[in-house]
Every structure is written in structure tokens, then in C-alpha cells.
Amino acid sequence: MKCLKNLKDSGDKAFVAYIMAGDGGLDKLRGQVEYLQATGVTATEIGIPFSDPVADGPVIEEAGNRALAEGVTLDKVLLEMKDWDFDLKIPLIVMTYLNPVIRYGAERFAESCREAGVSAVIIPDLPFEHQQLVEPYLKKTGITLIQLVTLTTTENRLEDILEAAEGFVYAVTVTGITGVRDELTQEVKEFMKTVRSKSPVPVYAGFGISRLEHIEMLREDVDGFIVGSAIVKAFHDNKIESIEPLIHAVTQRNPV
Amino acid sequence: MTKVKICGLQELEHVRAASTADAAGFVFAPSRRRISIEQAAALAAELPESVEKIGVFVNAGLDEVLEAVQKVPLSMVQLHGDETDEFIRSIPVKVVQAFSVRDIEDVKKLERSIADFVLVDAPGIDFRGGSGRTFDWSLLGGASIDPERLIVAGGLDAVNVGQAINSLAPYMVDVSSGVETEGNKDADKIKIFIKTVKGDSMQQTTGTVKETGFFGRFGGQFVPETLMKAVKELEATYTEAKDDADFQADYHKYLKEYVGREQPLTYAARLTEAWGGPKVYLKREDLNHTGAHKINNAIGQALLAIRMGKRKIVAETGAGQHGVATATICALLDLECVIFMGEEDIRRQQLNVFRMKLLGAKVESVTKGSATLKDAVNEALRYWVTNVEDTHYLIGSALGPHPFPTMVRDFQSVIGRETREQILDKEGRLPDVILACVGGGSNAIGMFHPFVEDESVRLIGVEAAGEGVDTDRHAATLTKGTEGVLHGAYMKLLQDENGQVQEAHSISAGLDYPGVGPEHVHLEDIGRVEYKAVTDEEALASVIKLSRLEGIIPALESAHAVAEAEKAAAAMGSDEILIICVSGRGDKDMATYAEKLEGLA
Ligand SMILES: Cc1ncc(COP(=O)(O)O)c(C=O)c1O
């Protein structure tokens, strides 16, 4: 994840693309990652489908249900990634709810992630308080557990979480679940400024980011953006090219 | 709190990892973990004053022991050989005497020890102390050893230590091979073990809920970061309200004046006669305003919401009883109310849907997944995440992230407290058996909680077996489930081998949930409560029985408890007493009864 730090130092912004593993079949995943890499994303976040994704809005939930219907599991996704032999230049981040990890075994999960070339893991229902359930095993295999902070994170907690943060901090832009939003509040801008002033690692804004206006509004206050629902939807609708302007608006310093 | 000893330390890195333990053990006996007195002194110097330094010996000479005590210096000595009482008396620091316990004879030897502490271990292989195999804890069951003198060792690790602590409540736990990887100590494992025992982790220790909200290993706060503030705020508010006399007075006033408590403990003469066994009593939660126990909890939480300045309420409902109770209390206290309910449940419980609407609540139909309670909880949680700043999630059972399971239990404990007083009043003694149905587990935990310490009272929770526990259409989470995390708590779940939560099935909408409250899982784990499962068919048969014999038409949920009670009664004598919690009345189930029991009823 060192590349993310280098990117921050150079002043460039990161674009992290979230995809739901196995939406449309697990054999699509590789091509999707290759496409995103070619389009210039900084990192890819690979979502593992879960039966009860309470942090997700309808777009990702439905994609997850489609993937589950295809028989996609955590194990299968990691095995698929392990087999990739193309020239992978961008970090892979796994996003999964906690229960599949517990069922799989945290130690084994860390080991399989390492074999699959995973750099970082995001577990939205594993709060800071309980992270030793998984974090020590990830650490042993050199994988980063990404911390989330939100608009409702209290000041003391924010300091504790940021102090422990590695890789990047996932700063949630809405009080709510994932999904495309029309507008972000002004409060978000202030929040990003606060988090960035205190964070030892790059700060990426995510949840609801789907429009050029969002990027413009927060560009100066964050180190990068995480885009999920908009990409999942575009892949599902076979219109992924429509996302390219959004990616380029972030990654190209002077977008045309 | 149980203390932790990390034993067999040889390297600085591991000594540092053990610096938050209560004791560090240095082995001077022949073993691959053996070190010299000089090495031990160097390592001990790195440890804080507060950490006990314990030297481990097997049949060493007194001179050697005394030299180590002085040079390291050691604050305790642990003896694994055939040392005499005289030898023990000659040691100037506290002594731990270790015993390999294989049978009752060994337990007797241990009871006679004059040492300050006794350590029990599985029989040794590599040297006389510490084999790393798990000790059969049940052997100690009858031993007359003060737990304050007891140290437990033998095959412990972060996974099983919770069970050791729960079953023996020892003064200290001692770990060595359980914090090793391939024969060497592992700093991460040492840290995890310490955290595990000292709380702040899944494997929280003793039987009562701690600040992090664990019952044994179950519970916790597994929620997205956005909800953490609300969960913590609720925790703080509840902690304070619980001990506030005004709050309690207010709550009890509503229970009395509005719900109509206390509810009778009715002697069921004809049921007693029909079953030909114990005297049967019924705790009449069916007589509560709105028709079930759910309102006991709804009032308590609504008052808390107001205390937090939140005037919007979101809730989930299965049978609709909790939804009705919540809508009712929101009408009474002028709170805004949104209820999520699965489409399938809306179909089964039309009457309750209409009641909620009449009471002014907004009922949101959930069509996702199995369109039952689990999916309604998902949607309620999403709604809460989005509206958390001004909305309280009024959860309907002893489920969810801490403090919900504790708080709901406390609000429902009025059931068990009344029952206890009433039975003592009527019979002059405690009952032999108490049964309650278990969906999420709120009426059961409320009934059981005041009796948990009374070992003579057998407690039986009754789950829904649906079409049978060996089919894939049941809701018997405790009987068939496995451990996992859902809706904020580490508990038991119906799930597949990949950790995907499965749909539950029961004719009773209120029991149709694939998880179960964490305290129940703990009570099962420590063997205090038994959990049985009753099929749809058995429950329906009991509906007829209770209706015909006692003139009480029970809710389908409660009928599960009645069905199991009949089985329990078959093995009981006429001098025994059995109590059933009738959690609710059958009005809401009339459509189902008409459909299923047509021709019979
Ligand atoms: C009458 C009745 N009993 C029992 C239950 C099950 O819930 P719990 O296990 O929380 O008591 C319900 C739930 O809706 C109910 O309505």
C-alpha cells in the first residue's frame, strides 16, 4: 500500500473502484479488474456477496444477491484471484462482512488473502473495538485492515481510529448506507478537512460518490475517492464506459 | 477478573508481549523451555513491577529454588514434583503447587495442598508440568477448592479459555503451548490471549455482561461505524437510567396503569389433571395491553428514547406484536413511528398490520430475502443508519448490539420477578421447571433471568422446529445453528458453510428468525438452560389443548412452550411444580388457526 502514500506525496488523487465479485458470474471478475486497471484506477475493491449486507444500499445489495445466486463464495473469489496471471499493477482490496470471515476462520482468511495477492481488507461491521478478532492475523501476513470513519464518529474515537490507521482511511461521506446520491452536504466538506488534518495516511471519501460535482466539491479536501454503486450499476447495465469521465476527473490532473 | 499467566518465556520479544499479563513463568526444570537463573533475571528486568515473576521447578533442591528467588528475583514459586509440605513451608514467597489431574484421587491430593495456590493441569508428557493437552474440567466439578486459590492450565488457548473460565471461575489461567506457533512463543498469540481473557474481545470471560457487552463469548457491538455513536450513547443513557429512581418509577407506573401489571400466575387445574404430573401454572403475559409481553420492553425503550431527546422511533416486527406494542406506545407518548415488516408476515398477521396503522404508525413492507423478520431487521438497521441522529431503534427482542440484549432482558425481567414472588406466595417454594418460547429470546430471558442463580430450577427454552429440525424448514437456532455474527451480535445462526445466513421457517411469525439472543447462547454454552424444539404441528395441537382445557387461546409462539411443557410434565411427579410463560394471546393468529384447525376447532 506504499504506492498510495507515494501518490499522496505527488499530489495526485486516487480512484478506488468497487466491484461486486461474481455479479454476472465469477468468470467476469478478472476482465473487470483488467479493464479498471487499464482505465487508470488506483486500486480495486472487490466486494464479497453476503446475505445480509446492512451497510449497503439497493444497488450493491442486488448485485450481491445476483452473485450469491451464481454460487459465489468468499473461498471461490480468493481462489479465482490466486489464479490470476496477468500483470497486476494496482492493489487489490477485499471488502467483506464479518460473518463469512468468521466462518472461514480469520487466520485462514488472512492466509488465503495473502495467496490471492490482496493488499488490504475492509470489514464494515467490524468496529475498531473488536478488530483484534481479525487484525492480528492480517498483520502477520502483511495485509492492512482499513479503518472507516464517519460523520457520527465522535472526536475521541476519531483520534483513536486515526492513530491506528494504516494504508488509507475510508471516510464515509453520508450518514447512511452505500448508494448513489444526488448531493453531498456542506458538513461533509468540513468533516473531510478535519479527518485529513489528523490522519497519518491518505484519506479517501466513499459512499454516494457518483457525480462529477461530488468530486469537484471534495477534491481539495481528500486524497482520493471510492466509487461503488455507480460502477456496479454501470457494469451490470453493460455501460462501463459511462464511468470513464468520473475516473479521469479524479486521476488526471487536468481533465479535459 | 481472571488473571493471566504466560508460562515458559525465553525471549525478550515474548516477555514484552506478556507485559500486560498478570504473571510470567520461567521454567527451571528440564524442558525445552528451560532457562538459566541469569537468563530469567535479564528477562524479569524487562517486566513491570506489577507482573508476578514465577519460577517453575520439578523436584529441585531447596538451595536452587532459594537462589532463583533471590537472584531473578521471583515473587512466586511453582512446584510440579513431589515436594513435601515442609519444603513448601521453607519457601519465603508464595507457592503454587501443581497437580496433574487424571482422576478423583488426584483431585483429593490437590484438596489437601497447603500451598497458597493450586494449579491443575492435564497429565504431563514432555516434563512433569505442562503437557499442553486439554484438561477435563468436569473432574474438578465436585472438588472443594476455593476458586480464589485455583490456577488452571493444560491445553488452553484463546479459543477455549472462555469455557475454562466460565466453568471454573479460577483465580488465574496459565498458558504456554497455546500461545506458540511451531513450538516457539508467538508475540501476537500472547497478546490475543491476554486480550481475550481481559475482555475487549469476543472471548469475554465471566457470565455477566461487561462494558463491552459480552455474555461469555457472545454479544458485542458488531455494527457499522456510523451506528457506533448511537450505540454508545444508548449504553451510557441506559446505564444511568437504570439506577435512576425517577426513571424506574416512571417505567413501573406505565406497567401498572397502562399495561395492567402485575399479571396473574394462574393455576391450570384442568391441564394439571390432564397431564397427570406436576402442578401447572401459567404466567399470563397474554393479559398485557396489546396482547403480549412485547410492551414491557417497548415502554422502557420509548422512555429512554425521550431521555435521549429522540422523538422518532423505528422498529422491526415479525408477528406484529412488537410492532403493535411500539405503535401503541408511540401513540401514547406522541412519538413518530416507522415499522418494518416482512411481506410474508404482513400476509400472516393482517390484523396486527391494521392495528399498527390505526395507531398511526407507518408500516413499511419488506419484500427482500425471505420477507420475514430477518429482512425486516436489515431494513430497520439501514433506516437507523440513515436517520440515526434523531431516531431510536426500538428493537423487539433480546438481540442486536450491546446494550440491547441486556436492556431488553432487564425490561422483560418483570415477568420473572413477578413469577418468583407469586410462586413463593402460593406454594412457599420455587418451581421445579420453567418453560418459555424462544424467538429472539426476550420473553424467555425475562422469565429466566430472576431464576438463573437458583440451581434447583430447571429452565427450558423452546424454539420452533417448523417442519422438523432435520428438514431445512425450521427456526431451531440453538439446536441446529452455528456461531457467527448477525445484526450486531456474535451469537448462533442458521447459516451455510460459507457464512451466508439462511432463512428460518416457522408457522409462528414471532419465532421465524435465524439467530437467537447472545445471552441464550451463553446460557446454553454453560449448560444452565436447556433448549428444545417443537414442530408447527405440535404447537397447533397445544393451541387446541390450552383453549379447550383452560379457556385461554394462546399465541402460536407461546403454544410452543405449552407443547414442550407437556413432554416435560410426563416425567414429573405430582409434588412438583411447572410454570409456562404464556407470552401472548392468540387473537393475532386467528386467521392461521381458522385455516389450519378448521374442522377441529
Ligand atoms: C406472543 C409472542 N411470544 C413470543 C415471541 C417471540 O419473541 P421473543 O423470543 O423475543 O420473546 C413473539 C414475537 O413476536 C410473540 O409475539
- B223 vs B48, residue with greater confidence: B223
Residue closest via CA to ligand 1's atom 6 equals B439
| Rounded-to-integer distance, Cα B27 and Cα B40, Å | 9
Exposed, middle or buried, B417 (CB in 10 Å: 0-12/13-18/19+)?
middle
Q: In the numeric block, which cell numbers belong to residue B353?
A: 398490520
A67 to chain B: which residues are within 8 Å by CB? none
| Rounded-to-integer distance, Cα B313 and Cα B391, Å | 5
**Residues facing residue B214 across a β-bridge:** B219
Q: In the numeric block, which cell numbers belong to residue A200?
A: 497519518
Q: Residue B204 pLDDT > 90, yes or no?
A: no
3-state class (DSSP) for residue B265: strand
Query: Is residue A85 among the annotated active site residues?
Result: no
Question: Do A73 and B382 count as a contact with CB atoms less than 8 A apart?
Answer: no
> What global pTM score does this model have?
0.77
> Beta-carbon neighbour count of residue B538 at 10 Å?
18
Residue with the three cell numbers 503454587? B96
**Greatest CA separation found in chain A?**
48
Average pLDDT over residues B299-327: 96
ipTM of the complex: 0.95
Q: In the numeric block, which cell numbers belong to residue B335?
A: 412519538
| Rounded-to-integer distance, Cα B553 and Cα B562, Å | 11
Alpha helices in chain A (DSSP H): 2-10, 29-39, 58-69, 74-82, 98-104, 106-115, 135-140, 155-164, 186-198, 212-218, 229-236, 244-251
Alpha helices in B361-493 (DSSP H): 373-387, 404-412, 414-427, 442-448, 477-480
Q: How far is CA B465 from CA B24, B154, B417, B514, B529, in A?
A: 49, 39, 29, 12, 18
pLDDT band at B553 (very low <50, low <70, confident <90, very high): very high
Question: Do B225 and A148 count as a contact with CB atoms less than 8 A apart?
Answer: yes
Q: In the numeric block, which cell numbers belong to residue B323?
A: 410492532
Question: Are A54 and B366 spatial neighbours (Cβ–Cβ below 8 Å)?
Answer: no
| Rounded-to-integer distance, Cα B128 and Cα A168, Å | 50
Question: Are B451 and B430 spatial neighbours (Cβ–Cβ below 8 Å)?
Answer: yes
Average pLDDT over residues B428-449: 98
Q: Which of A9, A27, A34, A45 is catalytic?
A: A45
Residue with the three cell numbers 445484526? B487
DSSP B100: E
**Pocket of ligand 1 contains residue B438 by CB under 6 Å:** yes
Whether cis (ω within 30° of 0) applies to the bond prior to B73 is yes
Average pLDDT over residues B462-483: 96
Average pLDDT over residues B301-314: 96
Residue closest via CA to ligand 1's atom 10 equals B442
Mean pLDDT value across chain B: 91
The pLDDT assigned to A249 comes to 94
The pLDDT assigned to B141 comes to 65
Q: How far is CA B386 from CA B99, B210, B264, in A?
A: 58, 29, 42
Which residue in A193, A232, A188 sits closest to A210, CA to CA? A232
Residue with the three cell numbers 451490470? A236
Which residue in B79, B78, B80, B69 sits closest to B44, CA to CA? B69
| Rounded-to-integer distance, Cα B225 and Cα B213, Å | 17
Q: Phi and psi at residue A106, in whole multiples of 5°?
A: -65, -40
Q: Residue B243 pLDDT > 70, yes or no?
A: yes
The pLDDT assigned to B134 comes to 58
Which residue in B216, B105, B100 sits closest to B167, CA to CA? B216
The pLDDT assigned to B212 comes to 67
DSSP collapsed to 3 states, B183-239: CEECHHHHHHHHHHHCCCCCCCCCCCCCCCCEECCEEEEECCHHHHHHHHHHHHHHH
3-state class (DSSP) for residue B205: coil
3-state class (DSSP) for residue A100: helix
> Beta-carbon neighbour count of residue B211 at 10 Å?
12
Q: Which of B180, B463, B583, B588 is catalytic?
A: B583
Residue closest via CA to ligand 1's atom 12 equals B510
pLDDT tens, position by position, B115-158: 999 998 865 433 334 444 555 666 776 677 788 899 988 888 88
| Rounded-to-integer distance, Cα B127 and Cα B119, Å | 15
The pLDDT assigned to A6 comes to 78
The pLDDT assigned to B124 comes to 43
User: Min CA distance, A38 vs chain B (Å)?
Assistant: 32
Query: Is residue A45 among the annotated active site residues?
Result: yes
Q: Residue B198 pLDDT > 80, yes or no?
A: no
Lowest mean pLDDT among B71-75, B123-127, B153-157, B561-565: B123-127
Average pLDDT over residues B489-506: 95
Average pLDDT over residues B569-591: 96
Instruction: Go through B253-270 and write b for each residue having 16 or more CB atoms within 10 A of its CB, e for each that does not.
Output: ebbeebbebbbebbebee
Q: How far is CA B243 from CA A131, A153, B402, B565, in A?
A: 31, 28, 18, 36
User: Min CA distance, A97 vs chain B (Å)?
Assistant: 9
| Rounded-to-integer distance, Cα A95 and Cα A118, Å | 11
A128 to chain B: which residues are within 8 Å by CB? 225, 228
Question: Do B500 and A51 count as a contact with CB atoms less than 8 A apart?
Answer: yes
The torsion angle over the Cα atoms of residues B524, B525, B526 and B527, rounded to 10 degrees, is: 40
Lowest mean pLDDT among A235-239, B201-205, B503-507, B550-554: B201-205
> Beta-carbon neighbour count of residue B147 at 10 Å?
12
| Rounded-to-integer distance, Cα B31 and Cα B175, Å | 15
Question: Do B501 and A176 count as a contact with CB atoms less than 8 A apart?
Answer: no
| Rounded-to-integer distance, Cα A221 and Cα B198, Å | 40
DSSP A26: G
pLDDT tens, position by position, A119-170: 999 999 999 989 989 999 999 999 999 999 999 999 989 999 999 999 999 9
Residue A108 touches chain B, beta carbons under 8 Å: no
Q: In the numeric block, which cell numbers belong to residue B440?
A: 429472539
Is the torsion defined by CA of B497, B502, B506, B511 positive or negative? positive
Q: How far is CA A66 from CA A84, A87, A252, B338, in A?
A: 23, 29, 33, 29
Residue B443 CA, ligand 1 centroid: distance in Å: 7
Q: Residue B211 pLDDT > 70, yes or no?
A: no
Q: How do strand A144-145 and strand A118-122 relate by DSSP bridges?
A: parallel
Residue B408 CA, ligand 1 centroid: distance in Å: 13
Residue A113 touches chain B, beta carbons under 8 Å: no
Which residue in B452, B417, B406, B462 sits closest to B215, CA to CA? B406
| Rounded-to-integer distance, Cα B335 and Cα B392, Å | 10
Question: Do A74 and B499 count as a contact with CB atoms less than 8 A apart?
Answer: yes
Sites in chain A below the pLDDT cut of 50: 255-256
The pLDDT assigned to B182 comes to 85
